[in-house]
Structure 1
Protein backbone atom coordinates (compact mmCIF):
# COMPACT_ATOMS: atom_id res chain seq x y z
CA UNK A 1 0.00 0.00 0.00
CA UNK A 2 1.24 3.44 -0.87
CA UNK A 3 2.11 5.92 1.86
CA UNK A 4 0.07 8.49 -0.07
CA UNK A 5 -2.85 9.62 2.16
CA UNK A 6 -5.11 9.86 -0.91
CA UNK A 7 -4.44 6.21 -1.80
CA UNK A 8 -5.23 5.17 1.78
CA UNK A 9 -8.44 7.19 1.80
CA UNK A 10 -9.44 5.68 -1.54
CA UNK A 11 -8.78 2.13 -0.24
CA UNK A 12 -10.92 2.75 2.87
CA UNK A 13 -13.72 4.33 0.81
CA UNK A 14 -13.67 1.45 -1.67
CA UNK A 15 -13.95 -1.14 1.13
CA UNK A 16 -16.79 0.75 2.80
CA UNK A 17 -18.78 1.32 -0.41
CA UNK A 18 -18.39 -2.28 -1.58
CA UNK A 19 -19.38 -3.62 1.87
CA UNK A 20 -22.47 -1.41 1.93
CA UNK A 21 -23.38 -2.56 -1.61
CA UNK A 22 -23.12 -6.23 -0.61
CA UNK A 23 -25.20 -5.67 2.53
CA UNK A 24 -27.88 -3.65 0.68
CA UNK A 25 -28.19 -6.31 -2.03
CA UNK A 26 -28.59 -9.04 0.59
CA UNK A 27 -31.24 -6.98 2.41
CA UNK A 28 -33.18 -6.46 -0.82
CA UNK A 29 -33.03 -10.13 -1.77
CA UNK A 30 -33.42 -11.78 1.64
CA UNK A 31 -34.60 -9.16 4.14
CA UNK A 32 -31.49 -9.77 6.30
CA UNK A 33 -27.91 -10.96 5.92
CA UNK A 34 -25.10 -12.80 7.65
CA UNK A 35 -21.92 -10.93 8.61
CA UNK A 36 -19.46 -10.70 5.74
CA UNK A 37 -16.03 -9.43 4.86
CA UNK A 38 -13.87 -8.03 2.08
CA UNK A 39 -10.08 -8.36 2.30
CA UNK A 40 -7.52 -6.77 -0.02
CA UNK A 41 -4.52 -8.97 -0.79
CA UNK A 42 -1.07 -7.40 -1.27
CA UNK A 43 -1.33 -8.06 -5.05
CA UNK A 44 -4.53 -5.99 -5.28
CA UNK A 45 -7.02 -8.88 -5.57
CA UNK A 46 -9.98 -9.07 -3.21
CA UNK A 47 -11.39 -11.91 -1.13
CA UNK A 48 -15.11 -11.70 -0.33
CA UNK A 49 -16.88 -14.01 2.08
CA UNK A 50 -19.77 -14.53 4.47
CA UNK A 51 -19.83 -16.03 7.97
CA UNK A 52 -21.32 -19.48 8.42
CA UNK A 53 -23.48 -18.16 11.26
CA UNK A 54 -25.02 -14.85 12.22
CA UNK A 55 -24.69 -12.51 15.15
CA UNK A 56 -21.67 -11.79 17.26
CA UNK A 57 -20.27 -15.31 16.94
CA UNK A 58 -20.22 -15.12 13.16
CA UNK A 59 -18.56 -11.70 13.22
CA UNK A 60 -15.97 -12.81 15.75
CA UNK A 61 -15.08 -15.85 13.63
CA UNK A 62 -14.53 -13.58 10.62
CA UNK A 63 -12.39 -11.21 12.67
CA UNK A 64 -10.26 -14.06 14.03
CA UNK A 65 -9.66 -15.40 10.51
CA UNK A 66 -8.78 -11.93 9.20
CA UNK A 67 -6.41 -11.33 12.14
CA UNK A 68 -4.57 -14.54 11.22
CA UNK A 69 -4.26 -13.43 7.60
CA UNK A 70 -3.11 -9.98 8.73
CA UNK A 71 -0.42 -11.38 11.02
CA UNK A 72 0.84 -13.54 8.13
CA UNK A 73 0.89 -10.42 5.89
CA UNK A 74 -1.61 -12.05 3.50
CA UNK A 75 -3.88 -8.98 3.44
CA UNK A 76 -3.27 -5.22 3.35
CA UNK A 77 -6.79 -4.02 4.20
CA UNK A 78 -10.08 -5.52 5.34
CA UNK A 79 -13.69 -4.64 6.11
CA UNK A 80 -16.27 -6.56 8.13
CA UNK A 81 -19.95 -5.70 7.74
CA UNK A 82 -23.01 -6.78 9.69
CA UNK A 83 -26.62 -5.95 10.56
CA UNK A 84 -27.00 -4.13 13.91
CA UNK A 85 -29.50 -2.21 16.03
CA UNK A 86 -28.30 1.21 17.18
CA UNK A 87 -29.70 4.15 19.12
CA UNK A 88 -28.67 7.68 18.23
CA UNK A 89 -27.83 10.02 21.06
CA UNK A 90 -31.04 11.52 22.38
CA UNK A 91 -33.28 9.06 20.50
CA UNK A 92 -35.83 6.94 22.33
CA UNK A 93 -35.84 3.91 20.01
CA UNK A 94 -33.34 1.56 18.41
CA UNK A 95 -33.07 1.54 14.62
CA UNK A 96 -31.64 -0.94 12.12
CA UNK A 97 -28.27 -0.15 10.59
CA UNK A 98 -25.55 -1.69 8.48
CA UNK A 99 -22.24 -1.46 10.30
CA UNK A 100 -18.96 -1.56 8.37
CA UNK A 101 -15.63 -1.67 10.17
CA UNK A 102 -12.84 -0.97 7.67
CA UNK A 103 -9.11 -1.13 8.44
CA UNK A 104 -5.79 -0.68 6.71
CA UNK A 105 -2.56 -2.45 7.68
CA UNK A 106 -1.19 1.00 8.56
CA UNK A 107 -3.58 1.06 11.54
CA UNK A 108 -6.26 3.40 10.21
CA UNK A 109 -9.66 2.07 11.23
CA UNK A 110 -13.20 3.41 10.84
CA UNK A 111 -16.71 2.38 11.84
CA UNK A 112 -19.49 3.40 9.47
CA UNK A 113 -23.20 3.08 10.26
CA UNK A 114 -25.84 3.33 7.51
CA UNK A 115 -29.33 3.48 9.05
CA UNK A 116 -32.11 1.81 7.05
CA UNK A 117 -35.69 0.61 7.31
CA UNK A 118 -37.81 -1.78 5.29
CA UNK A 119 -41.11 -0.36 4.00
CA UNK A 120 -43.33 -2.98 2.36
CA UNK A 121 -40.29 -4.99 1.24
CA UNK A 122 -38.59 -1.86 -0.08
CA UNK A 123 -35.25 -0.80 1.39
CA UNK A 124 -35.15 2.85 2.49
CA UNK A 125 -31.73 4.25 3.42
CA UNK A 126 -31.54 7.26 5.73
CA UNK A 127 -29.53 10.20 4.40
CA UNK A 128 -26.00 10.48 5.64
CA UNK A 129 -23.84 8.01 7.48
CA UNK A 130 -22.30 8.04 10.92
CA UNK A 131 -18.52 7.68 10.64
CA UNK A 132 -16.16 7.31 13.58
CA UNK A 133 -12.45 6.66 13.88
CA UNK A 134 -11.81 3.64 16.12
CA UNK A 135 -8.80 1.63 17.34
CA UNK A 136 -7.76 -1.15 14.95
CA UNK A 137 -8.91 -4.69 15.66
CA UNK A 138 -7.78 -6.79 12.69
CA UNK A 139 -4.39 -5.10 12.29
CA UNK A 140 -4.03 -4.27 16.00
CA UNK A 141 -0.63 -4.50 17.59
CA UNK A 142 -0.52 -5.49 21.26
CA UNK A 143 0.95 -2.14 22.34
CA UNK A 144 -1.64 -0.10 20.37
CA UNK A 145 -4.68 -1.23 22.36
CA UNK A 146 -5.04 0.70 25.61
CA UNK A 147 -6.90 -0.47 28.69
CA UNK A 148 -10.33 1.06 28.97
CA UNK A 149 -10.64 1.69 25.24
CA UNK A 150 -14.17 1.08 23.99
CA UNK A 151 -14.11 -1.49 21.24
CA UNK A 152 -16.50 -1.40 18.32
CA UNK A 153 -17.85 -4.92 18.82
CA UNK A 154 -19.29 -4.06 22.25
CA UNK A 155 -22.09 -2.27 20.46
CA UNK A 156 -23.12 -5.07 18.11
CA UNK A 157 -26.32 -7.00 18.63
Structure 2
Protein backbone atom coordinates (compact mmCIF):
# COMPACT_ATOMS: atom_id res chain seq x y z
CA UNK A 1 0.00 0.00 0.00
CA UNK A 2 1.82 3.05 -1.27
CA UNK A 3 2.32 6.08 0.99
CA UNK A 4 -0.18 4.76 3.54
CA UNK A 5 1.78 5.61 6.69
CA UNK A 6 1.90 9.35 7.15
CA UNK A 7 4.84 9.96 9.46
CA UNK A 8 3.98 13.03 11.56
CA UNK A 9 7.67 13.99 11.59
CA UNK A 10 7.62 14.66 7.84
CA UNK A 11 5.83 17.29 5.83
CA UNK A 12 6.24 17.94 2.11
CA UNK A 13 6.18 21.04 -0.06
CA UNK A 14 5.99 20.78 -3.83
CA UNK A 15 7.71 23.85 -5.23
CA UNK A 16 8.11 23.56 -9.00
CA UNK A 17 5.37 22.70 -11.49
CA UNK A 18 7.71 21.79 -14.36
CA UNK A 19 10.13 19.75 -12.27
CA UNK A 20 8.38 17.75 -9.59
CA UNK A 21 10.60 18.92 -6.74
CA UNK A 22 9.89 17.92 -3.17
CA UNK A 23 11.13 19.65 -0.05
CA UNK A 24 11.12 17.38 2.97
CA UNK A 25 10.69 19.23 6.25
CA UNK A 26 11.17 17.45 9.55
CA UNK A 27 9.02 18.71 12.40
CA UNK A 28 9.91 18.94 16.06
CA UNK A 29 7.18 16.60 17.31
CA UNK A 30 8.22 14.80 20.52
CA UNK A 31 9.43 11.21 20.00
CA UNK A 32 6.76 9.86 22.36
CA UNK A 33 4.02 11.39 20.22
CA UNK A 34 5.53 9.97 17.01
CA UNK A 35 5.89 6.53 18.64
CA UNK A 36 2.29 6.62 19.87
CA UNK A 37 1.05 7.62 16.40
CA UNK A 38 3.01 4.77 14.78
CA UNK A 39 1.84 2.24 17.36
CA UNK A 40 -1.83 3.11 16.68
CA UNK A 41 -1.27 3.02 12.92
CA UNK A 42 0.55 -0.33 13.02
CA UNK A 43 -2.06 -1.89 15.28
CA UNK A 44 -4.92 -0.57 13.14
CA UNK A 45 -3.52 -1.89 9.84
CA UNK A 46 -2.35 -5.21 11.33
CA UNK A 47 -5.72 -5.99 12.90
CA UNK A 48 -7.70 -4.97 9.81
CA UNK A 49 -5.41 -7.01 7.56
CA UNK A 50 -5.41 -10.07 9.81
CA UNK A 51 -9.20 -10.24 9.48
CA UNK A 52 -8.67 -10.74 5.74
CA UNK A 53 -5.95 -13.36 6.00
CA UNK A 54 -3.16 -14.62 8.20
CA UNK A 55 -0.19 -12.22 8.23
CA UNK A 56 3.33 -13.58 8.06
CA UNK A 57 5.07 -10.20 8.07
CA UNK A 58 4.21 -6.49 7.92
CA UNK A 59 6.75 -3.87 6.89
CA UNK A 60 6.36 -0.09 7.14
CA UNK A 61 8.87 2.21 5.40
CA UNK A 62 9.90 5.48 7.03
CA UNK A 63 12.01 6.79 4.14
CA UNK A 64 11.52 10.42 3.12
CA UNK A 65 11.68 9.89 -0.64
CA UNK A 66 8.45 9.74 -2.65
CA UNK A 67 8.72 6.16 -3.90
CA UNK A 68 9.18 4.54 -0.45
CA UNK A 69 7.76 7.02 2.07
CA UNK A 70 5.00 5.40 4.08
CA UNK A 71 4.77 2.24 1.98
CA UNK A 72 3.29 -0.72 3.82
CA UNK A 73 4.03 -4.27 2.69
CA UNK A 74 2.03 -7.16 4.11
CA UNK A 75 3.06 -10.72 3.44
CA UNK A 76 0.10 -13.06 3.88
CA UNK A 77 0.25 -16.79 4.47
CA UNK A 78 -1.32 -17.40 1.05
CA UNK A 79 -1.81 -15.59 -2.25
CA UNK A 80 -5.60 -15.76 -2.04
CA UNK A 81 -5.53 -13.56 1.08
CA UNK A 82 -3.17 -11.12 -0.64
CA UNK A 83 -5.51 -10.77 -3.62
CA UNK A 84 -8.50 -10.37 -1.32
CA UNK A 85 -6.65 -7.67 0.68
CA UNK A 86 -5.76 -5.82 -2.52
CA UNK A 87 -9.38 -5.84 -3.65
CA UNK A 88 -10.72 -4.75 -0.27
CA UNK A 89 -8.13 -2.07 0.54
CA UNK A 90 -8.23 -0.57 -2.96
CA UNK A 91 -11.82 0.51 -2.28
CA UNK A 92 -11.06 2.16 1.08
CA UNK A 93 -9.81 5.40 2.54
CA UNK A 94 -7.43 5.77 5.45
CA UNK A 95 -6.67 9.03 7.27
CA UNK A 96 -8.79 10.97 4.72
CA UNK A 97 -6.79 9.58 1.77
CA UNK A 98 -7.56 6.80 -0.70
CA UNK A 99 -5.61 3.57 -0.21
CA UNK A 100 -3.58 2.44 -3.22
CA UNK A 101 -2.95 -1.25 -2.91
CA UNK A 102 -1.23 -3.57 -5.36
CA UNK A 103 0.32 -7.02 -5.35
CA UNK A 104 4.09 -7.37 -5.28
CA UNK A 105 5.99 -10.23 -6.92
CA UNK A 106 8.64 -9.84 -4.20
CA UNK A 107 8.23 -12.34 -1.37
CA UNK A 108 11.38 -11.56 0.63
CA UNK A 109 12.35 -7.96 1.36
CA UNK A 110 15.50 -8.70 3.37
CA UNK A 111 17.80 -7.62 0.53
CA UNK A 112 15.75 -4.45 0.04
CA UNK A 113 16.20 -3.27 3.62
CA UNK A 114 18.98 -0.85 4.54
CA UNK A 115 21.22 -2.65 7.00
CA UNK A 116 22.92 0.64 7.89
CA UNK A 117 19.57 2.12 8.92
CA UNK A 118 19.06 -0.83 11.27
CA UNK A 119 22.41 0.10 12.84
CA UNK A 120 21.54 3.85 12.90
CA UNK A 121 24.42 4.62 10.53
CA UNK A 122 22.88 5.24 7.09
CA UNK A 123 24.70 8.17 5.50
CA UNK A 124 21.94 8.75 2.95
CA UNK A 125 19.34 9.39 5.65
CA UNK A 126 15.69 9.39 4.72
CA UNK A 127 16.48 9.73 1.01
CA UNK A 128 18.08 6.27 0.89
CA UNK A 129 16.76 4.01 -1.88
CA UNK A 130 16.79 0.96 0.39
CA UNK A 131 13.87 0.41 2.74
CA UNK A 132 14.19 2.10 6.13
CA UNK A 133 11.86 -0.14 8.10
CA UNK A 134 10.01 1.38 11.04
CA UNK A 135 9.48 -1.45 13.48
CA UNK A 136 6.89 -1.70 16.25
CA UNK A 137 8.06 -2.42 19.76
CA UNK A 138 8.32 -6.12 20.62
CA UNK A 139 5.45 -6.03 23.13
CA UNK A 140 3.02 -4.70 20.53
CA UNK A 141 4.19 -7.18 17.90
CA UNK A 142 3.87 -10.11 20.33
CA UNK A 143 0.39 -8.94 21.37
CA UNK A 144 -0.78 -8.68 17.75
CA UNK A 145 0.71 -12.02 16.73
CA UNK A 146 -0.84 -13.78 19.74
CA UNK A 147 -4.22 -12.22 19.00
CA UNK A 148 -3.97 -13.30 15.35
CA UNK A 149 -2.95 -16.85 16.34
CA UNK A 150 -5.94 -17.14 18.71
CA UNK A 151 -8.27 -15.77 16.03
CA UNK A 152 -7.17 -18.31 13.41
CA UNK A 153 -7.10 -21.21 15.87
CA UNK A 154 -10.69 -20.32 16.76
CA UNK A 155 -11.65 -20.24 13.08
CA UNK A 156 -10.05 -23.66 12.52
CA UNK A 157 -11.89 -25.07 15.52
CA UNK A 158 -15.16 -23.57 14.28
CA UNK A 159 -14.59 -25.08 10.83
CA UNK A 160 -13.87 -28.52 12.36
CA UNK A 161 -17.03 -28.33 14.43
CA UNK A 162 -19.11 -27.45 11.36
CA UNK A 163 -17.61 -30.39 9.44
CA UNK A 164 -18.34 -32.75 12.32
CA UNK A 165 -21.93 -31.59 12.58
CA UNK A 166 -22.42 -32.07 8.80
CA UNK A 167 -21.14 -35.64 8.94
CA UNK A 168 -23.33 -36.56 11.96
TM-score by length of 1: 0.36
TM-score by length of 2: 0.34
Higher relative contact order (CA 8 A, sep 6+): 2
Tell which structure's C-alpha radius of gyration is larger: 2
- Structure richer in helix, relative to its length: 2
